[in-house]
Amino acid sequence: MTSLTHGPAPRCYALVPCAGTGSRSGADRPKQYVPLAGRALVAHTLDALARVPRLSATLVVLAPDDELFDAAVPQAAGDARVWTARRGGATRAATVAAGLEELLARGAAPDDWVLVHDAARCLIRPEWVLSLIEACEADEVGGLLALPVADTLKQEEQGRVAATIDRQAKWAAQTPQMFRIGLLRRALAATGEGVTDEASAVEALGLRPRLVPGALENFKLTWPADFGLAERLLQTMAPASDSSLARGAAVATAGGAR
Ligand SMILES: Nc1ccn([C@@H]2O[C@H](COP(=O)(O)OP(=O)(O)OP(=O)(O)O)[C@@H](O)[C@H]2O)c(=O)n1
Ligand SMILES: C[C@](O)(CO)[C@H](O)COP(=O)(O)O
């Protein structure tokens, strides 16, 4: 039963920065629009997020001059849980910061959670998103999907190894990264555009985000060779079992999108 003295339970929103150019990808267009297994890369990303019932809505932040999204993801126009905003900035951090303002303008509360997920991680699975939500929703700070580094790490100087770096306790950060909207907004305002992920901004406030084990498959498509690999994985992916997500559905349905 809802208490009379407390507000409604915090909701979860996804925020997908989708305003990059993909300069390292070698593609003939922004990488999020490269076709993979018959659909644009970002369409796969949004499909997976759409199968997470705990998400009240997903905000896709596009470049101000984006002319590709509507044709690349036609189903978004008819989906009340997908919102778009042409407010992307010069850096990922600027795009995310603008997206947070948009969420607040659309009725999200500072205490609500936001899960920032790269458009470019199109192999995300609904069950991994749910595992992040379940690990973080009772957490003071929030957290992120990440993977312990498996390889021996080398420090390069002019094409040669200058040092071998201790990999003990090193993790590679992935997305989604889940924080309260108000906290992340404050963190990004303090750090500016230099940070490459949300956790870095939150860490700069002296906080310690929770590391939640992710999956190797949830890699970020960055280099030309990544596209063929992602396409092969998409083609062989078993359909996710939506029943495993049902335990999250009741919470989202009770609130709906604001
Ligand atoms: N100004 C920017 C830069 C990046 N992104 C988004 O942030 C995610 C992760 O960034 P990255 O892989 O670095 O994408 P790009 O910046 O597009 O790639 P590159 O660095 O190779 O140019 C992508 O979904 C990208 O669209 C964004 O929304 N706004
Ligand atoms: C957020 C991120 O995907 C975590 O690995 C990464 O930091 C994005 O960095 P990039 O500079 O945009 O590639």
Q: Is 97 helix (H, G, I), strand (E, B) or coil?
A: helix
Tell whether ligand 1 has an atom less than 6 A from the beta carbon of residue 20: yes
Backbone angles phi and psi of 44, in degrees to 5:
-65, -40
Centre of ligand 1 to C-alpha 38, Å, is: 22
In a domain, 138, yes or no: yes
In a domain, 160, yes or no: no
In a domain, 150, yes or no: no
The owner of tokens 């003990």 is 168
Residue range 12-61, pLDDT digits in tens: 999 999 999 999 999 999 999 999 999 999 999 999 999 999 999 999 99
Centre of ligand 2 to C-alpha 111, Å, is: 25
The CATH code of the domain that includes 27 is 3.90.550.10
In a domain, 82, yes or no: yes
Number of domains in the chain: 1
Centre of ligand 2 to C-alpha 172, Å, is: 10
HSE, side-chain direction, 13 A CA sphere, residue 223: 3
> pTM of the entire structure?
0.93
Centre of ligand 1 to C-alpha 119, Å, is: 8
Residue 240: the pLDDT is 58
CA distance 112 to 185: 12
Tell whether ligand 1 has an atom less than 6 A from the beta carbon of residue 96: no
Tell whether ligand 2 has an atom less than 6 A from the beta carbon of residue 198: no
Q: Which of 71, 53, 51 is nearest to 62 (CA)?
A: 71
Ranges of residues in the chain with a pLDDT under 70 are: 1-6, 238-258
Give the domain range for residue 123.
12-142+173-255
Tell whether ligand 1 has an atom less than 6 A from the beta carbon of residue 21: yes
Q: Is the CA virtual torsion 70, 73, 76, 77 positive or negative?
A: positive
Residue 244: the pLDDT is 55
In a domain, 127, yes or no: yes
